[in-house]
Structure 1
């Protein structure tokens, strides 16, 4: 049975286990009572049925994104609003032709709310400044620099500390990064920044970003597709967000790279319309990035290799 189709059965089971009073409990009462139960159980396939692949079809980077969901995935039970995910077990190795330092020019393609604006609230990732560290100010289109280098195992990776600092300061020019720390747990980044508050005074705040899943693969046409799942805490604001980042990279001419990105934002069980969303994204933020090499670099890898 598909995860979405099993949602009513999960609710009935939760009602029985939690011992709700007989009769017809109100919708608000039901949501308040079972949201914690659902987050712990993680809606997914029935016992004995293999979990769906964590990778969505690369076409989900654009279009209606019907394949993107936060329910029934291999990471759904460990990347939950009520608990922190374990250290990241593996990361995608990016194509060798991304190695080097790049000037990146951003361009917003679209911002859509696939379930309607009545699913959007102040806690949805992307609504508040810096609530999506990968797109700290949705709608802005700055230029910034990124570095991709090889790790100790020879895999090409982005410099995560440089990336989060570059993105925050480029997308939100009034913000200044105070410190960035790669925690001992793999996939966890902690960032402290100084920025104007709603009252006008400057205030130091912090973000605890945890990557729940990072997978990638070469797809048709020599493109590389990457899917990342994040849990983000904006500590001082007391807000936890959950979102998926879908990226495709493809070579553009002899030296350039075209990068397409979609950030899919989800509701949390504490949101009143969480069950109505049924694990589907409530917001899509679609960007393209034009990457140009800095310093006259030329890829040292075979153009037919990854």
Structure 2
């Protein structure tokens, strides 16, 4: 029986949903999505280029920012192909094995982004609370290990979840409620006991997002305690200002993420448009907004952007 279930799931074809009720406007709706994606890719590539080429930015804070940019691009890339295939009326079909790979990549990079934000919170904690030991603690070797650990920590727990999914049979509707594959969306179509996937999924979310958010809160509790001990008001504001960009990045990831989880679990009867809107905000917003925030709020990045697009440099490049 297990073998037949495995075969039937791998041979299954699912049908992706665009935006219900707006099918005739899909081509027009694809324009802002395309612009958002291009802005996100361009913004994160600019951040990576500036950090790589400016020796002054070869510091822990900017290495973590480069990790965030890579993760942003990784999170937004997997759903884009299927999204535009639906909006451009090329095809709504997606094979089960491709769906599993897409789910794996989306959830892996989502969890990795959360882990990177935790690492950035610890970076700010060390910079403010232990400034004299900052460079000796956060060495390039340790930062590389943190990046690899964040990726492995996010990917490995998903493997049992997705492997177990391949043994399901899907005898109900094969129509997914999004333009890409999400685990919580696809298990609703299974004709099997999904208790393991539901419970294990909640455990993974709690252990990854839950612990990450708790670590970020604890880091900022120590940061706030340390900042309040600074005598001058200017010193306190300067210390807090170095954290402003990171706090915005945390909110941009966690608020849509929490909203999407609440909609999926507790508002299943709400309008499909709400589900789809939350799902796309969750994946498209951070890659677009994070480079803008760091370009505006971080002096060194802002200077790098201005230098990159300065008329003198552009004219010299053309010559």
More helix by share: 2
Query: TM class by shorter-chain length?
Result: under 0.3
More strand by share: 1
More relative contact order, 1 or 2 (CA 8 Å, 6+ apart): 2
